[in-house]
Amino acid sequence: MSRKKAVKGKGSSKSPKASPSSGRTSRGLAAAAAPSSGLVYPSRPSISNSGEFYDIAFKVMLVGDSGVGKTCLLVRFKDGAFLAGSFISTVGIDFRNKVMNIDAVKVKLQIWDTAGQERFRSVTHAYYRDANALLLLYDVTNKASFDNIRQLLGVKAAEHQMMKRWTHCVSVPHPLLCLQCFSLLSTHTICT
């Protein structure tokens, strides 16, 4: 059983600059607010939309098929909670900010949760270009979701400079994130 998320994504409709800590947004507003460069070096001190100071900011994209667990991963990382129960598919694109203290440097991660459904691909792909990192996610119980990520890498590497840089930086195998593995790993296998 599944239920759909609100048309404006899983959260609010505010743009990244207008939103407080959660960047949940409709696709139009998100497009208008997308930064020209994902890497931001604010003059210190700088303050995030959630009111936290930070030194450097990175834009991170969560990419993968619908249902692989992108939103769950983001919510878990941001709030420490797990979205159990009914599956609510993301509409368009959404984001959340988290400021982390790493080696005495305040790092702001702006993490974008893309809709995995095919019909949103043209929207979500527009956000890859200025991202600093892509997290490629698949469901370890669903081989098709793994194949689709490999296919996306191949196609998009030719289209986006960011993807080219990224695929050059890491050696094979790509740093895929295997999700949905905790309860089902024992009964499913993906051959790579």
Ligand X SMILES: Nc1nc2c(ncn2[C@@H]2O[C@H](COP(=O)(O)OP(=O)(O)OP(=O)(O)O)[C@@H](O)[C@H]2O)c(=O)[nH]1
Q: Report the distance separating Cα 192 and Cα 177, nearest Å.
A: 14
How far is the C-alpha of 73 from the C-alpha of 130, rounded, in Å?
Answer: 22
- Measure the CA–CA gap between 149 and 38, rounded to whole angstroms: 22
DSSP structure string for 148-159: HHHHHHHHHHHH
90 Cβ contact partners less than 8 Å away, ≥ 6 residues apart: 5, 9, 10, 66, 70, 71, 113, 114, 115, 116, 117, 120
Among 182, 189, 191, 192, binds ligand X (CB under 6 A): 182
| Residue of 122, 107, 10, 102 whose CA lies nearest to 59 | 107
Backbone φ, ψ for residue 163 (5° rounding): -65, -35
CB 112 to ligand X: min, Å: 12
Q: Which is nearer to ligand X, 38 or 116 (CB)?
A: 116
Chosen residue from 29, 34, 60, 68 binding ligand X by CB under 6 A = 68
When asked if residue 190 is in the footprint of ligand X (CB under 6 A), the reply is no
Is 186 a binder of ligand X (CB under 6 A)?
no
Supply the minimum distance, in Å, between the C-beta of residue 18 and ligand X.
23
178 is a contact residue toward ligand X (CB under 6 A): no
Tell me if 67 contacts ligand X by CB under 6 A.
Answer: yes
From 26-34, 40-48, 63-71, 121-129, span contacting ligand X (CB under 6 A): 63-71
Q: Tell me which of 13, 46, 89, 167 binds ligand X, using CB under 6 A.
A: 89
| Per CB under 6 A, 83 contacts ligand X | yes
Amino acid at 171: S
- The yes or no reply on residue 26 touching ligand X (CB under 6 A) is no
Strands, DSSP E only, in the chain?
Answer: 2-4, 46-47, 53-54, 56-64, 87-89, 93-102, 105-114, 133-139, 177-179
How far apart are CB 137 and ligand X at their closest, in Å? 7
Does 25 engage in binding with ligand X (CB under 6 A)? no
Binding-site member from 35, 117, 123, 143 for ligand X (CB under 6 A): 117
Instruction: Report the interface residues with ligand X, using CB under 6 A.
Output: 64, 66-72, 83-84, 87, 89-90, 115-117, 179-180, 182-184
